[in-house]
Amino acid sequence: MSKQRRATGLGHALFAAPFLISFIGLFLGPACYALYLSFTRYRGFGVARFVGLENYSVILAYDAFWTMLGNTLFYWVAHAVPMMAIALGLAIIVQRRAVAWTQTFKTLVFLPQILASVATALLFQTFFGTHYGLLDRMLGFDTPWLTDPDLARWTVVAVLIWRSTGYWFIVFLAGLTTISPEIDEAASIDGAGAWRRLWHITLPLMRPTLVFAVVVDAIVTLRLFAEPNVLLGRAGALAPTSVAPLLNLVVEQMRAGLFGAAAATGWLLFALIAALTFILFRLMRERAA
């Protein structure tokens, strides 16, 4: 019997074959092609000319690249700090069973997750719209929330906080419930106040979950596209460069037929994500040691 279980064969690989073949054709192939493209100048027709690292050096010397990268990093930091604090705060409150309607609360807070980012952005247009928007109506002002770049970037941050808090709240709540309540009780008996227990017990024990949250949220935000563009672009157009995220450059280059440059921008984004993930994990591990 055990011999039969150990039986290996290429026949068994047939079950994996449809996935693997599709994956090679639809992902791995195009990925390798995109890597090759990034070293060429190619407009989608004619001959692809090999240019070495020229695409990369041109992009790195391009103002708009740094503007968009700066915008993206701003969107990440500006939403992640308050969002993580709110999500963790709510999770701690709910975990201490101070609120009776936990199930309802979880359902409501997670709700923004199922709304499409496009619908979310359109919804917030009716909230932030100049003069006609709900916010300006309530305040009685004509504030150009969506058209003044300095204000507009904060509306994107508001949307990101609104959308992502519920998700991380659920994750943090699950993380908190894995912490044994005895540790907290013991510290409480020893006379540690609520804030000291939070700082010296809860937060250190939550470190792995928090690191995971920061890394995943950073990756998601570096790939930001729909929210700023639908919110700040007009009728399906791209958002202006002053508030555009990094992926806009890839889209603009593809629309201009600069496939080599678009591919290079894409791989720069990948390098950024890989580097950020590495640094964050390293940083957190050093702190823990």
Part in contact with other proteins (CB under 8 A); list of ranges 65-73, 130-138, 139-147, 149-157: 130-138
Counting contacts by CB under 8 A, is residue 47 touching other proteins?
Answer: no
DSSP state of 235: T
Contact 219, 270 (CB under 8 A): no
Counting contacts by CB under 8 A, is residue 112 touching other proteins?
Answer: yes
Among 82, 144, 233, 240, binds other proteins (CB under 8 A): 233
Q: Which residues contact residue 107 at a Cβ distance below 8 angstroms, ignoring those fewer than 6 apart?
A: none
Counting contacts by CB under 8 A, is residue 225 touching other proteins?
Answer: yes
SS3 category, 50: strand
Counting contacts by CB under 8 A, is residue 195 touching other proteins?
Answer: no
Q: Identify which of residues 78 and 253 has a Cβ nearer to other proteins in the complex.
A: 253
| Smallest distance, other proteins to C-beta of residue 257, A | 10
| Smallest distance, other proteins to C-beta of residue 190, A | 19
| Smallest distance, other proteins to C-beta of residue 23, A | 4
- Structure tokens given for 166: 């519920």
Counting contacts by CB under 8 A, is residue 213 touching other proteins?
Answer: yes
What gap in Å lies between CA 29 and CA 34, rounded to an integer?
9
Among 84, 152, 171, 214, binds other proteins (CB under 8 A): 171
Counting contacts by CB under 8 A, is residue 170 touching other proteins?
Answer: yes
DSSP state of 126: H
| Smallest distance, other proteins to C-beta of residue 287, A | 19
Burial 73-110 (b: 16+ CB within 10 A, else e): bbbbebbbeebbeebbebbbebbeeeeeeeeebbeebe
DSSP state of 100: S
Q: Identify which of residues 36 and 74 has a Cβ nearer to other proteins in the complex.
A: 36
Contact 238, 151 (CB under 8 A): no
Part in contact with other proteins (CB under 8 A); list of ranges 133-141, 181-189, 197-205, 281-289: 133-141
Site string for other proteins, 16-45 (x = CB under 8 A): x-xxx-xx--xxxxxxxxxx-x------x-
Applying the rule CB under 8 A, the residues between 238 and 267 that interact with other proteins are 247, 250-251, 254, 259-260, 262-263, 266-267
Q: What is the 3-state secondary structure (H, E, C) of 132-191?
A: CCHHHHHHCCCCCCCCCHHHHHHHHHHHHHHHHHHHHHHHHHHHHHCCCHHHHHHHHHCC
